[in-house]
Structure 1
Amino acid sequence: MMHNVKVSLFYRKEAIVPSDQINIWSWLMLKDEYTSIVERLRKISDDEERKRLKKSLPAITVSGIFSRRKADHLVKPSNLICVDIDGKDNPSISNMEKLKERLGKLSYIMYCGLSASGKGVFCIIPYEDYRKHKLHFYALEQDFKDMGIVVDSSCSDICRLRFYSYDEHPYVNFDAEVYTHTLDKSSTMHLKSEIIAPNKSDDRQILNVTSKSLSLREVLLQPSNLDFASAVPLSKTEETERLLNLVIERRIDITSIYNDWIKIGLVIRNLFGDKGLDLFDKVSSFHPKYSQEEVEDKFFELDEEKYRASTQSLFEIAAKYGIYK
């Protein structure tokens, strides 16, 4: 993605005519005199004071340079769209840092950072055709809805303002994929009302919004430890089993490096005991020189005093092949 993208800058929310132009990366990444306002805003609880502070922040039009803040006054498009995820619209999401980390696994996310309040995140996404801004937004809205996430519908406005914010540890991908999907408005009615609300009788229901098989995107955003207030925390054994089942389902060989194979077997044996043999055999079976007899012999030979491996090492090995817990 290009590094020099100019957008319009507005010093006041009410302004119709922009005050200046600014490189969007300077806006997103650099600290300035407004950073201290954001830091104060995140610490106070008084709603009126929070509104006053937010109103004092400048804003940009992420989707381009405008002569006036109206859709038909677009001078130069940036081919970027901003998607807002507010905490109040997503009460099941309790950890925005974790959400930011997981959204970063989506190939089309160029930037993801905390909102000015710190109670939400916003994502900036490169998209194909600014003339189809709303149709691209509706497709994104549906994608996020499929992940159990409600996005702010006003992002469908190409000249929508994005208030200044600052994130010490944002997700950034200069090589993000260009988002090409579009969706007709008639297919997206009542998206917000269709999100499944948390069900006290079945906490694991969150994010299982359809009965179809999950895509990689949906798998990456399934609830995990502390991601969602009502999600059931997974044990180390459950996390490991889920990860290995993904490996088996996708038929990916993560054992090509001998030392990695040993670590995988040791983690499985430590967590599952002798019953883990079947799991180790299935994970090993995608190696081109797979031998069931060799797998069995190696599994029962493994000894923690001889080999050392933590559960985390298994997740690190899987991550090298694009598989995450």
Structure 2
Amino acid sequence: MIQNLKVSLYSRKDIIAPTRTVNIWEWLLHKNEYTPIVEKLRNTSNDKERKHLKNSLPAITVSGIFSKRRADCMISPSNLICIDIDGKDNPSVLDMEVLKARLAKLSYVMYCGLSASGKGVFCIIQYDDFGKHKLHFNALQQEFKEMGIIIDSSCSDICRLRFYSYDEHPYVNWNAEVYTHILEKSNTTHLKSKEVTPKNNSGWQTSNETSRTFSIEESLLQSSNLDFTSATPLSKTQEMERLLNLVIERKIDITPIYNDWIKIGLVIKNLFGEKGLDLFLKVSSFYPDYSQEETESKYLELNEKRYRVNTQSLFDIAAKYGIYR
């Protein structure tokens, strides 16, 4: 592993040009003037203040050095990808420290630590070819999904920002394996690998640029390890949130029928109240004529007390588009 990997630093998330370059290990492992902001963020429950604190943090482009935060403006690749695992997307994961320890069993995880909010973790993985960033991401997304974990689809963007965070007890593997698997988006059952030698302690058989039946490292699929979906029964609210996150992950429009759209909004509002607005906006955003202003206005005017909708109706609507609980 290269210990002097440089990446671009951005003082705020809304600027295009980087401020300077930094050594990613200094960024990940050392405290600095932003550490108190992270600690404050983790200790406040006020959503508005949390958002303000997070937006005040600087961020880096983990995958390399860029002249501007655009994929075509890369100056030097780091050959790293960062994947985010948010607690909201994974309601059956009840303890992020436990998750972090279990992810450490994956031989290709180079770093794993708590997110700025403390309600998620992120992993940094060294991959084989930065030119196949999205294909490597697709493979990782599929592998983690098979382990019952949903990772943020935005991580497929090679110039995605990673907010500053600090973890007192991160997992670091200085000898992590380079990740070589790739996956075409249309193929969700097979992976490709350039390696000709089977990975140690895995159930994988690899061959040179040929497809093979997908198989996760079997030891990690035990209920005592990463099979969170079977280890912890989900409540109705968690089941609903998991279903909606599948819709968002797959970017499927389940709202083209107006009455269905209203039912979806009512179910979300019944379960989550005003806090469900962001979820409703994301689910609605795949409609071709989506308007954030209209969607927000509609959600706020929905009267969940006057029109009670059975939560089963949302499962029925999603099933019409091939999405099941």
Is TM more than 0.5 here? Answer: yes
Change beyond 3 A, Cα 1:225–1:21: closer
* Matching of residues 166-185 of structure 1 within 5 Å: 166-185=166-185
**Residue identity in the other structure for 1:28:** L
Task: Name the structure 2 match of 1:121.
Answer: 121
Change beyond 3 A, Cα 1:226–1:60: closer
Instruction: Quote the offset at 1:219 in angstroms.
Output: 2.8
Give the Cα separation in 2 of the matches to 1:77 and 1:117. 28
* Matching of residues 89-238 of structure 1 within 5 Å: 89-188=89-188, 215=216, 217-224=217-224, 231=231
Give the Cα separation in 2 of the matches to 1:99 and 1:93. 7
Task: Name the structure 1 match of 2:247.
Answer: none
Larger Rg: 1
What is the SS of the residue equivalent to 1:187? coil
Task: Name the structure 2 match of 1:244.
Answer: none
* Matching of residues 1-325 of structure 1 within 5 Å: 1-188=1-188, 215=216, 217-224=217-224, 231=231
Instruction: Quote the offset at 1:160 in angstroms.
Output: 0.2
**Residue identity in the other structure for 1:140:** L
What is the SS of the residue equivalent to 1:186? coil
Instruction: Quote the offset at 1:214 in angstroms.
Output: 7.1
Instruction: Quote the offset at 1:186 in angstroms.
Output: 1.4
Change beyond 3 A, Cα 1:48–1:107: same
Give the Cα separation in 1 of the matches to 2:85 and 2:140. 12
Runs of 4+ in structure 1 off by over 6 angstroms are: none
> Do the aligned partners of 2:87 and 2:120 also contact (CA within 8 Å) in 1?
yes
TM-score after normalising by structure 1: 0.61
**Residue identity in the other structure for 1:12:** R
Instruction: Quote the offset at 1:222 in angstroms.
Output: 3.4
> Do the aligned partners of 2:148 and 2:228 also contact (CA within 8 Å) in 1?
no
| Residue-pair matches, total | 210
5+ unaligned residues in a row in structure 1: which ranges?
190-211, 234-325
Change beyond 3 A, Cα 1:227–1:35: farther
Instruction: Quote the offset at 1:185 in angstroms.
Output: 1.3
TM-score after normalising by structure 2: 0.61
**Residue identity in the other structure for 1:46:** N
* RMSD of aligned residue pairs (Cα, Å): 2.3
Instruction: Quote the offset at 1:231 in angstroms.
Output: 2.6
Give the Cα separation in 2 of the matches to 1:111 and 1:18. 23
Instruction: Quote the offset at 1:188 in angstroms.
Output: 4.3
Instruction: Quote the offset at 1:187 in angstroms.
Output: 2.1
Change beyond 3 A, Cα 1:50–1:230: farther
Give the Cα separation in 2 of the matches to 1:161 and 1:131. 18
5+ unaligned residues in a row in structure 2: which ranges?
190-212, 234-325
What is the SS of the residue equivalent to 1:132? helix
Give the Cα separation in 2 of the matches to 1:89 and 1:108. 23
